[in-house]
Structure 1
Amino acid sequence: MAVVHAGVLSNIVQYVSSSHDVLSLLDALPRDALDTPLRTLQTLVSPPVAAPWPHLCVDDLDCQHTLTLLAALSTFCSVSIENLYKLTEVLRDASSEPESDALCAATIDFARKWGHKVTHIAAWWWPEEYTADTIATIIRHCTGLNSITHAKRIVYASSILQDVYDCGDWRHVFGDWLASAHATELRLDNIMCEDSVGFARAIAAATSLTSLKLTNAPVLLQGLVEAGVVLQYITQLRLVVDHSDSIFADALVSNGVNLPALRVLKLRSEDDADMTFVLRLLPYLVALERRRRRGTCDEDDDVCLDLFAWAERSPCLEVVNVDAIDVVWRKPVLFGRQLRRWIQSGVDRVSLEDCDVDDMSITAIAGSLCDARRSRPFVLYFRGKPLRLRWYYMLIEALATSTGVSIEGNDFSHADDRHDMENWATRFDLRLHRGGHNRFTIHSPV
């Protein structure tokens, strides 16, 4: 029997939707009627390998199957690379010249041959000696991406903790992408570059870019300030800075952002930098959808309560995260009243994370739930520090009088405690649901 040509049968195979059907099709043909790509495909989709079909993550298989995979790639519709560094190591080990002076020669050869099938690339860790130019070379061969300009989101991070990694000329990776009208989200972590002012202007000019996160990127942060540009299209801004960079964070947020358009603003300090400048900007942050307060800033209880009251007035606010704030137990009555107002004003979720509580604060929280009426669901989420069993009874008793309200929390490790929770839920006609990560949710009767 003549050998089945891969160009014919491979095209047919690519329209088959499951690996089981592919295997059935190939098994129906004599093995000597299949050419090398189809025989290796048969091996890949058979146990114990059982590779996914029709889209394959090329770095997801065991190294022992690398050569088999490479021989079968012509039969796959598309492939993705979830860890470019891992793929580089695997291909170099499988290469006939593993000691090649070009550290990424095998990966570049792979991209040159199979780049038209690559639809996704992620490089979560990329050693400095491989350089950003190497990534750019690989990407240029991956025409299946329709070039990087058709990606919507780029996360570019360095694992060098002692210093900021200089990625060189930013235009190699980001220039065309920012100007493509496809870019929507950019995250830079532990990175610096040449001509940070030019990079800043390109970011500001990207009309499609709506989300920006800078983590320990002081040179670019300073470049955004020195460029004197306004990030008028950015609606989500996240900054992680240290003490020495807080002055640039202040200048950027105060003068370089369209504050009324911001839906998300997240500021975090690595070393207790002063972020209180955001307080004077609160009247302009009218579109925020989330309000998060962390206990890392030296604010007294009255300032926290004022912030909470401001959050209540935000017309777009949906989520409030209260993280390690002492006002929850130091001023329980006032916090309970504030929680009640959040429930009434339309906030959908309040999360208390690692907040100290006691009998008085739980009593105040339970009081805020009593007779609460919601047309759309409201969730009170306890995260971090576990609550005592009797405190949950107080909350469940209050929950029984409410409508459209739920409580989420950490489940108990002892069977007797879990049994008590189930009995209380049944007694008060509540719905108890246990989910993953050792969590539970209790819903009000209606």
Structure 2
Amino acid sequence: MAPETGRAGPTVVALDGVLVAIVQCMASPSDVLAFLQALVASAVELPPALSALLVLLTTPQPHRKLAHLWPRVHLLSIAADEIHLNGSLADQQQGRWVLHRPVLCFYRAVGIQGALVYSDPPWHPSDFYDLLGMCTNLQKVTLARNWMALAAITTSAHHVSDLTLLNTSFNVDGLPFDWTTSLGPWLESAHTKRLRLSSFESTDDLGLARALATTRTLTHLHLDDADDVISGILANRLPLRYLTHFWIFACHYPILGDMTTLLDPAAIQSIQFRSHCLEEMTGFLKTLPLFTRLTVVDISGVSLGGHHHAAPLPTTKTLRAVTFRAIACSANTLATLLDWTARADHLEYSNWSGCAMVGTHCKLVGCALRSWIATGALQTASFWRCSIDDDGVRLLARVLCDVHPRTPLELDLSANPFGRDGLQALLDALATSSNITVLTPRIEMPDDDDASRGVAIDTSMPKTLRLTAPKH
């Protein structure tokens, strides 16, 4: 009896995701085009994303070059949170918006998740806003002076979680605008996580301040030259109890010191304060022990004062990174801060920039460096433009003698005014150590092989030498 013949099962290419995976592995758009055309000739039904891609590949210039974006987009994972593709929505060479239907289909199919929109589109604005309306997978958006674009990406179908508004003093018509009303739907959504306002003004600063303070899902707030909004928060004593990450750059008024009282010490994990008017923040050290979950501290352009002896700060178990940039402080304050960071068992990054007090108290820096090496967690210590001279470098070099940190450590001293004597002290110290790299200014070395003491010297950078301790 002859075996019964049944209907053939589906081919491999009919399985979900197979065609897309094959396209992702191809080396060039021309290969993709040949492959897709062969599939069409064989009556194979293409997935929507590949159909849109085929249209782009067969569309005359200038649109065809947009198809070259395909290797950068993982078509099988268009909803994945980890994809951050900043898609340029303009053809810069042609100086116009590329918004024909094939392009719209392509953007919609591949699920662009990031957009930069810096101004109102000069051509086809309605099509442009239609495009933004189609890109419902957008998660990170940067806008400037464009309230219509904001409305297009904050519909109930969108999932934008990271929003930046830049230079929004005027809307596209040149008139002041009520950004509070326009931001309202987004702030009330469940997707709100990160917001940055830069050079920002609104006709309702108080209303916006209240909205920011009461948005439960807003955890990251970055206020850059948004002094009117900040003043609204301060004037009404609005607690920012839901924030975990707070960045604030104050350009015109001394307002940083008061902001710490409005934060929830049990919630804040990252603080970045920057002032352009050397604001007095002498009380900042007293508030630090209250923030028990801090992982990042970044303070710039302020005066921390502290001429009287300050009590040691409690040991922190959470601190990972500190930056003190262009601060004015006394020797007592410097000693307190260095001691605090030296006792942070998990500190990975310590950056001091433009702090002349460091150069005159290198003994304190040396004590902190010794503790960091002993702990073994620190990966980078940078002292940039801290006026460290030859004597100061010799003090630090003593700490680097015969040490072998568990984690590779990079010490950046590259922008300091020391010379050949300091460099030689570092070479002598590194010759006895391992797992340490030091960046120094580019200093002429004597033509003597013994001077390097076996330390590798990388001269590839134009203004910097990289010294690497030998392996023992």
Partner of 1:119: 138
Residue identity matched to 1:284? L
Question: How far apart, CA to CA, are the structure 2 residues paired with 1:61 and 1:420?
Answer: 56
Contact 2:151 2:182 in 1 (8 A): no
RMSD over aligned Cα atoms: 4.4
Matched residue of 1:268: which SS? strand
Question: How far apart, CA to CA, are the structure 2 residues paired with 1:140 and 1:267?
Answer: 29
Partner of 1:309: 339
Give the alignment's TM-score, normalised by structure 1: 0.72
Question: How far apart, CA to CA, are the structure 1 residues paired with 2:429 and 2:364?
Answer: 18
Spell out, residue by residue over 1:2-46, the C-alpha distance to the aligned partner (whole angstroms, 9 max, x if none).
xxxxxx9xx997663243442222454899x9x998454235799
Contact 1:45 1:52 in 2 (8 A): no
Contact 2:166 2:197 in 1 (8 A): yes
Question: How far apart, CA to CA, are the structure 2 residues paired with 1:111 and 1:440?
Answer: 47
Partner of 2:279: 273
Question: How far apart, CA to CA, are the structure 2 residues paired with 1:42 and 1:362?
Answer: 64
Matched residue of 2:408: which SS? strand
Deviation at residue 188 of structure 1 after TM alignment: 1.4
| 1:168 aligns with one of 171, 178, 190 | 178
Contact 1:108 1:137 in 2 (8 A): no
Spell out, residue by residue over 1:237-259, the C-alpha distance to the aligned partner (whole angstroms, 9 max, x if none).
22211452x2x432221x21123
Spell out, residue by residue over 1:202-252, the C-alpha distance to the aligned partner (whole angstroms, 9 max, x if none).
4334444332221121222122224434333323222211452x2x43222
| 1:250 aligns with one of 244, 257, 264 | 257
Q: Which has the higher helix share?
A: 1
Partner of 1:395: 426
Partner of 2:407: 376
Contact 2:58 2:64 in 1 (8 A): no
Spell out, residue by residue over 1:77-115, the C-alpha distance to the aligned partner (whole angstroms, 9 max, x if none).
2264643236823xx1xx5xxxxxxxx444234445xx2
Question: How far apart, CA to CA, are the structure 1 residues paired with 2:423 and 2:31?
Answer: 52
| 1:362 aligns with one of 375, 384, 393 | 393
Deviation at residue 166 of structure 1 after TM alignment: 5.5
Gaps of 5+ in 1: 1-7, 96-103
Residue identity matched to 1:256? L
Partner of 1:192: 201
| 1:210 aligns with one of 193, 197, 219 | 219
Matched residue of 1:52: which SS? helix
In structure 2, relative to structure 1, the CA distance for the partners of 1:151 and 1:121 (3 Å cut) is closer
In structure 2, relative to structure 1, the CA distance for the partners of 1:87 and 1:226 (3 Å cut) is closer
Partner of 1:343: 373
Contact 2:89 2:115 in 1 (8 A): yes
Question: How far apart, CA to CA, are the structure 2 residues paired with 1:88 and 1:318?
Answer: 44
Residue identity matched to 2:193? T
Deviation at residue 352 of structure 1 after TM alignment: 0.9
Partner of 1:222: 231
2:293 equivalent to 1:259: no
Matched residue of 1:238: which SS? strand
Partner of 1:405: 436
2:324 equivalent to 1:293: yes
In structure 2, relative to structure 1, the CA distance for the partners of 1:216 and 1:37 (3 Å cut) is closer
Gaps of 5+ in 2: 1-13, 44-50, 74-84, 296-318
In structure 2, relative to structure 1, the CA distance for the partners of 1:291 and 1:275 (3 Å cut) is same
Spell out, residue by residue over 1:46-76, the C-alpha distance to the aligned partner (whole angstroms, 9 max, x if none).
9993622164935354444968772532355
Question: How far apart, CA to CA, are the structure 1 residues paired with 2:247 and 2:395?
Answer: 33
Contact 2:397 2:429 in 1 (8 A): yes
Give the alignment's TM-score, normalised by structure 2: 0.69
